[in-house]
Amino acid sequence: MQWRNSPAGYGLVSIVMHWSVALLVFGMFGLGLWMVDLGYYSSWRQTAPDLHKSLGLLLFGLMLLRLLWRFCSPSPAPLSSYSRTVRRAASLGHGLLFFGLFALMLAGYLISTADGRGISLFGWFEVPALFGAFNDQKDIAGGVHKYLAWGLVIFAGLHALAALKHHFIDRDTTLKRMLGRT
């Protein structure tokens, strides 16, 4: 398998980044749901949010690399069987996923830095709090983060269903290309 994308399919770098982002998003969503219900005396009460924040920072870095990679190695051309509507919907959908992820991570950053402290990345180093706190920053950003997370996971699920529809109903190579098979 090639490293870079070709006109016919995705390369290994794009495939690994795509599935890594998917795994992180769904894993962090599950972690987020679990950690908000932790009791005061739970040994995970501090550990789970720290893990969630560190994974969020890793996701942010991965998404920046993914954007850079899109410029270095453009995505394959859409399949010729796609209608104009499908091409537009796919482009809009991917744009919404990217925008939603960055908005979600910004909201998470605003929650975590509302007290003026930075965010530790697995104890290796700290990402500083760059923005001054605004009134009710933690609560407002928390609400935005919660609803964006739900919206993003639902939309990612629809994205997966669309890929399955292409594979099983349309019988085209959309899903195969993202699995490294052309």
From residue 47, give the alpha-carbon distance in Å to each of 50, 52, 55, 117.
5, 9, 12, 17
**Which DSSP string corresponds to the chain?**
--SS--SSS--HHHHHHHHHHHHHHHHHHHHHHHHTT--TT-TTTTHHHHHHHHHHHHHHHHHHHHHHHHHHSPPPPPPTT--HHHHHHHHHHHHHHHHHHHHHHHHHHHHHTTTS--EEETTTEEE---S---TTHHHHHHHHHHHHHHHHHHHHHHHHHHHHHHHHTS--SHHHHHTT--
Domain-embedded: residue 7: no
pLDDT value for 133? 77
Interval 3-35: pLDDT, tens? 999 998 999 999 999 999 999 999 999 999 999
Domain that holds residue 150: 12-178
pLDDT value for 131? 79
pTM, two decimal places: 0.93
pLDDT value for 181? 84
pLDDT value for 179? 93
Say if residue 154's pLDDT is above 90: yes
**Which pLDDT band holds residue 65 (cuts at 50, 70, 90)?**
very high
Residue appearing with tokens 């739900």:
150
pLDDT value for 44? 96
Interval 96-143: pLDDT, tens? 999 999 999 999 999 999 999 999 999 999 999 997 778 899 999 999
Domain-embedded: residue 116: yes
Domain count, the chain: 1
Tell me the average pLDDT of the chain: 96
pLDDT value for 134? 85
Domain-embedded: residue 2: no
Domain-embedded: residue 6: no
User: What CATH number is attached to the domain comprising 134?
Assistant: 1.20.950
**Which pLDDT band holds residue 47 (cuts at 50, 70, 90)?**
very high
Domain-embedded: residue 4: no
- Phi, psi (deg, nearest 5) at residue 44: -90, -5
Domain-embedded: residue 5: no
